[in-house]
Amino acid sequence: MKLSLFISDHLEEIHAEWVSFAQTLRPAAGKMTVLALQDHAKAILQAIALDIETQQNPSEQYAKSRGHAPEPEAESAASVHGTLRQTSDFSLIQLGAEFRALRATVLRLWLLRIPQMSPERAFEMIRFNEAIDQALAESIVTYSAHADQSRELFLAILGHDLRAPLSSMSLVGALLVRPETAHAQMAVLGARVERSARLMTQMVNDLLGFTRTQMGSKMPTEPGMTDVGSICKNALEDSRSVSPTTEFELTTQGNLSGLFDNVRLHQLFTNLLVNAAQYGAKGRPVAIDARRNGAEIVVQVHNHGAVIPEDSWRSIFKPLIQLPQAGKDDQRLKTSLGLGLFVAREIALAHSGSIEVTSDVDKGTVFTVRLPVPVTGRHPTMTSMQTALARE
């Protein structure tokens, strides 16, 4: 059987193995639907079958083997696949692994159905490998282009958002060196500097956490006996310094002691509180509730404001995702790096926990963090990103 016809006639069988393999990769494990995993897989296979049948002279074959194939007239299925895999948090290595698995699957199934190898069949294999390599190259190009665009956008956002607190601190410095500045103003100016410094510190901490995860490492933790209620209280105070016009409320219930990383959980809850203050309705309080629920501690951060659409409940935890801003006349300080919720999720996962959000008009927006309480003296194994995401 000709290889191109085999691909067309056994498209479903090959496609099923493609999806099965993709489900084992970290971003897909336990959270991506079959429809999302399929994306343009069938179209890629059909394009490969067509490519094998396309007439090609020796010079064209040589050029193609050197990566100089003609540019497609329209965006190919492989190109779209690369973009979708980048936005779904697949790594470039995993993207390559998909095509490697596809190559092995097609050849394995096809070779079982041909009685013997011949020069014609060997030539078909060469054409097939060329087509696979071409599809992989197209996916890599669009994957890399989208990643570069996201990186440039992030740097632009970082520069823009750091400019506001830096300008504020510069203005305060200019006022302090003026002889006519009244002594009574010093406390107000000092509070303004402290507020800007806290905001910049939060941005830098989120940036460091994001960079760590992008280098393939989990969020570093140093667990020790601590009280989650106290962490929530300290996070509330820091959030009040960043958003002094927002009213914050704290309630606790039960034994909230456990073996956790105090600094990381403080960062997690501060991110959630500042986010809630930033996007909450002006004049409405932001509430944080921490309570013991069996073998876990559940912390909820609640605010009223614009409803987050249900189809965005997962995507807002991805880096560089920004929620709609409040009204233009709202003078509350805002951060828009798009990293706060991402870092919060990574910290929860590093504690073998989880974070989720619900949002509606009546109940408002609620972020729920669940932290399993380890047995005293032991800390749950900090799982790899693959295992942690599979728990989500």
What is the pLDDT at residue 328?
46
Assess whether 208 and 254 both reside in one domain: no
What is the pLDDT at residue 94?
80
Domain assignment present for 251: yes
Q: How many domains does the chain have?
A: 3
Domain assignment present for 120: yes
**Residues 188-196: contacts with CB under 8 Å, at least 24 apart:** 192/168, 193/168, 193/169, 194/241, 195/165, 195/168, 195/241, 195/242, 195/244, 195/333, 196/165, 196/166, 196/168, 196/169
Assess whether 331 and 271 both reside in one domain: yes
Domain assignment present for 119: yes
Domain closes at, from 214, 248, 264: 214
Low-confidence ranges of the chain (pLDDT < 50): 29-31, 326-333, 377-392
What is the pLDDT at residue 36?
54
Assess whether 118 and 256 both reside in one domain: no
What is the pLDDT at residue 304?
92
Assess whether 234 and 372 both reside in one domain: yes
Domain closes at, from 180, 196, 214: 214
Domain assignment present for 219: no
Assess whether 75 and 110 both reside in one domain: yes
| Residue 97 identity (one-letter amino acid) | A
What is the pLDDT at residue 145?
87
Q: Which two tokens stand for residue 290?
A: 């921490």
Assess whether 193 and 289 both reside in one domain: no
Domain assignment present for 42: yes
* Distance in angstroms between the alpha carbons of the first and the last residue of the chain: 45
- Rounded CA-CA distance 386/341 in Å is 19
Assess whether 23 and 144 both reside in one domain: yes
Assess whether 130 and 176 both reside in one domain: no
Q: Which residues contact 382 (CB under 8 A, 6 or more apart)?
A: 218, 221, 350, 351, 352
Q: Which two tokens stand for residue 386?
A: 């693959």
- Rounded CA-CA distance 144/81 in Å is 12
- Rounded CA-CA distance 171/57 in Å is 70
CATH of the domain at 233: 3.30.565.10
Which domain covers residue 328, as residue numbers?
224-391
- Rounded CA-CA distance 137/5 in Å is 24
Residue 345 CB coordination number (10 Å) = 26
